[in-house]
Amino acid sequence: MTFGPSGGNVGMYVAREMLEAVPADQQEAYLRMVESISELKYQLGVEVARQLPRLIAQSDPDLVARYLTQVSDVAKLGWRSGVEVAKQLPDLYEAPDPELADNYVTIIGDATTGTAAGAGSAEMADELAQLEREIQEMEPKVKRAQELRTQLAAEDRRDEKRKKHAVELATALPPLLARLRPRHRETYLVQVQRVAAADPEAALEAADTLLDLLNGERVSHDGAVEWVSRGLEVLERNKEVGRGYFRLGSKFSLDVLEELREGLALKSIARVLKLYATALSGRDIAIRSSEDANTLEIYTADHIVLPADMRVFDEERQNFAAYKVATAQGAGRIEFGTYLLSLDDITETVTAIQTKYGE
């Protein structure tokens, strides 16, 4: 037999023989009654299920209702008393004195709730309930306090780390500043400061990279500001990725740099220009950047000194053409010895020119 959906867990309390003891037309009502009483306590349901068939068999619905009410009332005061009452009441209903069962229920009810001493307990219970409510209300605050404690501890750790990197930056910065070309100083300092305020560890990377970018003329001052701004956005989202950006260790960082690069870098086409000059002049010619000019005698026979970046035009093709013109001029100077003329050997020079070009 199945009890169907309405049966709920009642099958746990109702044995097959109990159900069979109930007339078929009342079995469903029986199950509902058991289920209802068991909501107070399942042990109560077990006992009521055991006793009810006996009462139902008397075909007195009032008696059944009285039984369920009395059991329920006592059980609300104390479920263990309720279970015992549920067990004893059917016998008491059959006593000659019809009031005996009611008296029994009253006695057990009073015994369960108590009298004077019980009032004190009730007060205490009320107070306890109140306190528990207050504690329950406090719980979110306690939780928040714990969160704040954790966050502050992490903040402290970060602060320690930050101080450590600030010290490292303090050590690293002076040698970098010594290598920085004076015209880049203002931009460099402002940009390093921006990164340092956000993350000293990233500032260590940025200080190093910016030095190369600016000294190497790989970005303009505006380009450096933009490159740092884009890096700070990355840093805000993720510290580690941001540090990689300032180390030029990410594709995005390189892409931004490429995007910001203005003009044409000599480095990227130096070999083409060298070959071009060598082909034109028939001499082994080296191309040097103007950045190195202070270490070179710029009119040395085998050097052509060119700017590190060509930004004369907007288009790379035109900037390359500008480089080419400068290279061709340099190659011509070298081939024809523009700066090699000396009055000491003017006689030989004139003779050589006459031989080459005639009178």
Q: Is 175 in the site for other proteins (CB under 8 A)?
A: no
3-state secondary structure of 352: helix
Q: Is 319 in the site for other proteins (CB under 8 A)?
A: no
What's at 6, amino acid-wise? Answer: S
Q: Is 278 in the site for other proteins (CB under 8 A)?
A: yes
Part in contact with other proteins (CB under 8 A); list of ranges 41-49, 188-196, 208-216, 268-276: 268-276
Please give the backbone phi and psi of residue 262, each rounded to the nearest 5 degrees, phi first: -110, 140
> Of 40 and 286, which CB lies nearer to other proteins in the complex structure?
286
Instruction: Name which position in 281, 288, 289, 303 contacts other proteins (CB under 8 A).
Output: 281
d(CA 2, CA 156): 65
Instruction: Name which position in 271, 346, 348, 350 contacts other proteins (CB under 8 A).
Output: 271
Q: Is 272 in the site for other proteins (CB under 8 A)?
A: yes
The count of chain residues that interact with other proteins, using the rule CB under 8 A, is 13
Instruction: Name which position in 63, 177, 280, 322 contacts other proteins (CB under 8 A).
Output: 280
Part in contact with other proteins (CB under 8 A); list of ranges 152-160, 200-208, 248-256, 265-273: 265-273
d(CA 166, CA 147): 28
Q: C-alpha 142: how far from its chain's center?
A: 24
> Of 43 and 278, which CB lies nearer to other proteins in the complex structure?
278
d(CA 23, CA 26): 5
Part in contact with other proteins (CB under 8 A); list of ranges 22-30, 266-274, 294-302, 349-357: 266-274
Which residues are CB-contacts of 212 (< 8 A; sequence separation ≥ 6)?
A: 218
Part in contact with other proteins (CB under 8 A); list of ranges 7-15, 97-105, 274-282, 290-298: 274-282
Q: Is 302 in the site for other proteins (CB under 8 A)?
A: no
3-state secondary structure of 228: helix
Instruction: Name which position in 41, 194, 324, 333 contacts other proteins (CB under 8 A).
Output: 324
* Smallest separation, CB 275 to other proteins (Å): 4
Between CA 340 and CA 348, with CA 346 as vertex, the angle to 5 degrees is: 95
Q: Are 266 and 306 in contact (CB under 8 A)?
A: yes
Part in contact with other proteins (CB under 8 A); list of ranges 58-66, 95-103, 160-168, 273-281: 273-281
d(CA 66, CA 51): 13
Binding pattern for the stretch 34-73 against other proteins, x by CB under 8 A and - elsewhere: ----------------------------------------
Tokens of 76: 């609300």
3-state secondary structure of 94: coil
Tokens of 245: 């950006």
Q: Are 108 and 88 in contact (CB under 8 A)?
A: no
Q: Which residue has the tokens 């940009």?
A: 191
Give me the residues that bind other proteins (CB under 8 A), please. Answer: 271-273, 275-276, 278-282, 284, 324, 328
